[in-house]
Structures are given as C-alpha cells and as structure tokens.
Amino acid sequence: MSVLNIPNSKIGLVLSGGGIRGMAHIGLLKAMNERGLEAHEIAGASVGALIGALYANGISTDDMLNFFKQTPLFQYSFFALGKPGLINTIKYKNVFKKHFSENSFESLSKPLYVVATDLINGTEKMFNQGELILPLLGSAALTPVFSPVEIDGVLYADGGIMNNFPKEYLEERCDFIIGSNVSVNGKLTKKELNNSIQLAGRITGLMIYASCREKIGECDVLVEPQELEHIGVLDKKGIDKAFAVGYDKASFALDKVVS
C-alpha cells in the first residue's frame, strides 16, 4: 500500500463545517483509505465533527453516505415548538444513538476534538471527553435552522460560527496535517445573489472563510473544492455530487504526497 513520504508520520485530519457540502469529507476519507492512509487524530466543526466521529467509530464511507441520505432534515415531528430555530436538534439524539451506542469520546478508536459555540458566553468550546452525542448535535446546530443544544446549562450552536477549521487542536499532537475545507470562497454570478437569503449566506460564508484562511493555508495537504459553492448547504440532492467532487479533488491532492 502507498505511504506518505514522511517516515512514521502521525497524521491529523481537520474537517470544516459546511452542511451537505461536507459529503466531500467522505470523498476524502475514501481516497485516503484507497492509499493506505489513516488519520490518527481528528478535529472538526459542525458536519466535519459528525463525519470525524463516524470515522473514529469505524463506520465505512458507504455507511456514512447512507446515514446522511436516510436522516431527515425537515421532518414534521422534528419541528421546534417553544424553542428558537425551525428544527428541534435534540430530536436527532435517538438517530445518533444507532451509530454511537456507547455515547462517549472514550469509546472511539481515535482522539476526536469537537468545536461548538457557547451562545451564553460568546466563546468557543472544545469537547474531547465524556458524553459524545450532545456535543456533536451542538456543533452541528446550524442557526437559525436548528435549535441550540443545552449541555450543563449552557446553550451551544454551530461550531463554525467561532471556529470552522479547528486545526490548532492537532498542531502539537500531529506532524502532518490533512485539511478538508468545504466552506469555500468561490466565485458566484449576479443571479446567485438576487435575494436577501442568498446575500446573507454569501456574507456569512465570506466572514467564516476570512477568519480561518491563514490556518487553511498551513495544511500539508488541503482539499478545498471550489465546485461546492454551487451546492446548497441543506440541499440533500447534492450529497452524491459533493462526495464525488471531494473524492476526485482528494485523490489528486494525495497522489502528490504518497509513493
């Protein structure tokens, strides 16, 4: 099998947030598997945290894709009542238990660092021990669609708000960093910015990218498919396309560093 050109490398994997575009992360994992590459530690935000947890729990890439295809986004019984947000995030807890039956960071086969946003104190929170599912739900609670998740009296939301590319948690632990950024900063047409929702999404995306740009550029291998810009963050029809784009881009990038 192919190995990195760096002897005895301890590989760190950073997975950004980005909703459905995060299926490109799964494409990267498939490309890594085919080249005999395995991450030793993982850091992620939002959908990146969830995919990182599935990977650390030994879930295959095919089963990861099926998980996202089969998990409902807008199911009537999941609508939020008396909570901020359209969807009650905590309703997904039973769905997650099917894949994380032990429900702890310690049960995973690899160290995982999950970033969420503390809405009460306005700070970033990193979870890496104890209960697993609630931090995953909090990290992936994309506002304003999904309601915040309460953990120990604190409300948590999308980790990408404060830190969409948590590379710093791996810098002292790993000597080779593979990064996958799906919150891309691609070029749009005027037609793609013709209403308030599109404009707000574009501005938010640019702000998130700007805050992480330096860290993204420091990765030893970076997968950042610009084609993902045209896939909606919550558009499940884009799952297969995002996965395919991620796989193709990752294969090209990894072939430069394996022998």
- Please identify every residue annotated as catalytic: 46, 158
One DSSP character per residue, 17-82 reads --GGGGHHHHHHHHHHHHTT---SEEEEETHHHHHHHHHHTT--HHHHHHHHHHS-SS-GGGB-SS
Nearest to 43 by CA among 13, 20, 9, 21: 13
Is 103 exposed, middle or buried (CB count within 10 Å of its CB: 0-12, 13-18, 19+)?
Answer: middle
**Cα(15)–Cα(43) distance, rounded to whole angstroms?**
6
**Cα(204)–Cα(181) distance, rounded to whole angstroms?**
15
Contact of 224 with 184, CB cutoff 8 Å: yes
* Helix H or strand E segment including 197: helix 196-217
